[in-house]
Amino acid sequence: MKQGKSAQIKSFKKQKAQQKFSEKKKLKPFDYDEFAGFLRARYYLTHQDKYSQPVFEAASFFLDDVITTMVQQYFSKFTSNERAIVNINEVMQAALVNSSDRDWRYFILLMPVLYDMQKFLAREGSVNDRYGIASSNYDPNFWKMIMRTVMALNYFRFQGKDVADLMKNSSAIDDLQFRFLKEEGDDDEFNLEIIEEVYRGIHPKLAELKDADAKPADEFLSEKEIQDEMDYAAKRVEQFRDASIKGVVSPNVVNLLLALHKGMAEKWHLGHENWQAADIKAFVSESLFEYWQPEWENLDGIGSEIKAYIQFLGKKKAILQSKKIVDGLDGLDHYVDVSAINHLLADMPLDQLQENE
């Protein structure tokens, strides 16, 4: 009798322990922004000073793509109570192949970060309830071949060619990726001179912004009206910076927002009170870099600051229907981010690229 009662108590305690463990491990609903934001913040804290600024900025873009791809490929796991065991080689390859809007120099800058990024994601995954990384080997020559292939794919993509058809019916992509390889040496080095020559006159092709066909207003602003707009911009952008979390609104963001005010006034003949989403999109896609020279600083996500600034102006009653404008700026974040890094990469000389390789 006593033995039976003791067994019952032990069984009950075991059930309670299992229930407690199960409750402890039950995950809250998956929040992509929270998950990705945490990994981005951890990467910034641990790798910000490890690379040159251009390499770190390229790595930040790629990390975003890797996180997005990882969640897409293992979506059912991430959104259930199961832990995803990720094949990181497959995820990173897919993220690279899908980087179809990047300047070719982007892929050269990424070479020094790939191994570290695998280690980083594995280390973070070892203490993350959402995912873990399956063990994998790192072969630098394999990844150089992947980079050459992606650059060859993009060469044809930027000219509007059907790369799926090319891969099926010709050896053009494979032939080109071999041209991007230095003939001498055992380390599968990139032939940067050949890549630069092949890409001369070929530019990245970004997906066009929807509803970005607005034309400048018929009536020009006077010099005084433009100056008044810039005086107003200086005041409001400073207030926006001071109201934000310290360091989020960097000098790069400040210059972007001032350029938006100036370009919209001079080129689109509009003061801030008359801005509409279609006007902003049209200006950004046609003329942004006539007014803004981006720097190698906090580029990843910089496009989202335009929406945040519009919302800020709306709260200040400086813009009417700010929510409607923000809702109409779909796609602008990514467009500005990628356009900015491509703009800087296009101006990077070979010797600087070789230093960062």
**Does residue 234 sit in the same domain as residue 327?**
yes
Question: DSSP of 76-104, one letter per residue?
Answer: HHHTTTSPEEE-HHHHHHHHHHT-TTS-T
User: Which pLDDT band, with edges at 50, 70 and 90, does 2 fall under?
Assistant: very low
Task: Identify the pLDDT of residue 187.
Answer: 74
Residue closest to 341 by CA, chosen among 48, 40, 61, 4: 61
Answer whether 243's CB lies under 8 Å from 312's CB. Answer: yes
Q: Over 90: is that where the pLDDT of 245 sits? A: no
Q: Over 90: is that where the pLDDT of 135 sits? A: no
Average pLDDT, the chain: 92
> Which residue among 157, 178, 206 closes a domain?
206
In the chain, count H helices and then E strands. 18, 2
Answer whether 273's CB lies under 8 Å from 321's CB. Answer: no
**Does residue 6 lie in a domain region?**
no
Domain count, the chain: 2
Answer whether 233's CB lies under 8 Å from 268's CB. Answer: no
**Does residue 26 lie in a domain region?**
no
Alpha-carbon gap, residue 303 to 305, rounded angstroms: 5
C-alpha triplet 176, 140, 349: angle, nearest 5°: 60
Segment 247-258 mean pLDDT: 92
Task: Identify the pLDDT of residue 25.
Answer: 64
Alpha-carbon gap, residue 148 to 152, rounded angstroms: 6
Count of beta carbons in the 10 Å neighbourhood of residue 356 = 17
**Does residue 168 lie in a domain region?**
yes
Q: Over 80: is that where the pLDDT of 8 sits? A: no
Which has more confidence, 137 or 95? 95
Q: Over 50: is that where the pLDDT of 309 sits? A: yes
Segment 347-352 mean pLDDT: 93
Task: Identify the pLDDT of residue 311.
Answer: 97
**Does residue 236 sit in the same domain as residue 282?**
yes
Alpha-carbon gap, residue 141 to 192, rounded angstroms: 16
**Does residue 40 sit in the same domain as residue 128?**
yes
**Does residue 140 sit in the same domain as residue 234?**
no
- Portion of the chain with pLDDT greater than 90, in percent: 86
**Does residue 189 sit in the same domain as residue 265?**
no
- Which tokens sit at 130? 């959402």
Count Cβ neighbours within 10 Å for each residue of 99-110 and write b for 16 or more, e otherwise. bbbbbbbbbbbb
Segment 257-265 mean pLDDT: 98
**Does residue 194 sit in the same domain as residue 233?**
no
**Does residue 202 sit in the same domain as residue 248?**
no
Residue closest to 289 by CA, chosen among 269, 270, 263: 263
Q: Over 50: is that where the pLDDT of 70 sits? A: yes
Task: Identify the pLDDT of residue 177.
Answer: 96
**Does residue 218 lie in a domain region?**
no
**Does residue 199 lie in a domain region?**
yes
**Does residue 126 lie in a domain region?**
yes
Report the range of poorest mean pLDDT among 7-21, 147-161, 202-216, 319-333: 7-21
**Does residue 198 sit in the same domain as residue 232?**
no
**Does residue 198 lie in a domain region?**
yes
**Does residue 68 sit in the same domain as residue 192?**
yes
> Which residue among 147, 177, 206 closes a domain?
206
User: How buried is 280 (Cβ within 10 angstroms: 0-12 exposed, 13-18 middle, 19+ buried)?
Assistant: buried
Segment 74-78 mean pLDDT: 96
**Does residue 110 lie in a domain region?**
yes
The range of the structural domain enclosing residue 107 comes to: 32-206
Answer whether 138's CB lies under 8 Å from 115's CB. Answer: yes
Total-model pTM? 0.90
Report the range of poorest mean pLDDT among 84-93, 131-140, 177-186, 261-270: 177-186
- Which tokens sit at 246? 């310290």
Alpha-carbon gap, residue 269 to 278, rounded angstroms: 14
**Does residue 193 sit in the same domain as residue 264?**
no
Which has more confidence, 49 or 25? 49
> Which residue among 142, 171, 206 closes a domain?
206
**Does residue 241 sit in the same domain as residue 282?**
yes
**Does residue 113 sit in the same domain as residue 72?**
yes
- Which tokens sit at 143? 């990844």
Answer whether 290's CB lies under 8 Å from 339's CB. Answer: no
Residue closest to 255 by CA, chosen among 310, 293, 296: 293
Task: Identify the pLDDT of residue 12.
Answer: 44
Q: Over 80: is that where the pLDDT of 252 sits? A: yes
Q: Over 80: is that where the pLDDT of 72 sits? A: yes
Alpha-carbon gap, residue 354 to 341, rounded angstroms: 18
Task: Identify the pLDDT of residue 185.
Answer: 67
Task: Identify the pLDDT of residue 9.
Answer: 43
User: Which pLDDT band, with edges at 50, 70 and 90, does 264 fall under?
Assistant: very high
CA distances (Å), origin 125, targets 47, 122, 133: 17, 5, 6
Task: Identify the pLDDT of residue 349.
Answer: 94
Task: Identify the pLDDT of residue 15.
Answer: 52
